[in-house]
Amino acid sequence: MCGIIMEIIRSIQNRIYEIRGERVMLDRDLAALYETETKALNLAVKRNIKRFPADFMFQLTREEVEGIRLQNETSKEGGALRLQNETSKGRGGTRYLPYAFTEQGVAMLSGILNSDRAISMNIAIMRAFVEIRRIVLQQNDLKEQLREIKARLGEHDVQLNHIYDAMENLLDEKAAQRKWEDRERIGFKK
């Protein structure tokens, strides 16, 4: 059971992107997890738009979509991100740029989507965000530890250089003393 949960969380983590300095999930990925259509998810959000301020949800630009598409192609994890075709109007339909939901936006979705699947997926998604935050904190802690080690090594390098210089000075003094003692003496000899 725990293995299945971890697998779900890993699957969710692969669907979390960093965009505009925020960790977000795309509407199409959330719709797939909730087993609903992207169009239905977005309509539910639009009916409750007051719950989704700009720091909870925003629409991607074409450049951001292209960046994610390139990221997916190089990561081998996911396929290419396509602009979604939410409503068909005439030939080819109207294309919309996807919406991105921050962690708070995903939490707010739980208030407007009440299916059992949506509730269980929201819990798994929140766990995935928490796990990512834990990993990032560990990495930051390791970076800080490496900085401290580097600083200590730098201090040790300075101390070792002082010791080396002192030893060199002692050896120079000993060499000078030997030269003085081994010099040819002048004057009376016994």
The stretch 103-113 carries a mean pLDDT of: 83
Q: Domain extents for the chain?
A: 2-143
Q: Tell me if residue 101 falls in helix, strand or coil.
A: strand
Residue 100 C-alpha from the chain's centroid: 17
State pTM to two decimals: 0.57
> Above 90 in pLDDT, residue 60?
yes
Q: What is the DSSP pairing of strand 99-102 with strand 57-59?
A: antiparallel
Work out the pLDDT band at 5, boundaries 50, 70, 90: low
Residues 23-32 as b or e (16 or more Cβ within 10 Å = b): bbbbbbbbbe
The stretch 1-23 carries a mean pLDDT of: 78
Cβ neighbours of residue 163 closer than 8 Å, sequence gap 6 or more: none
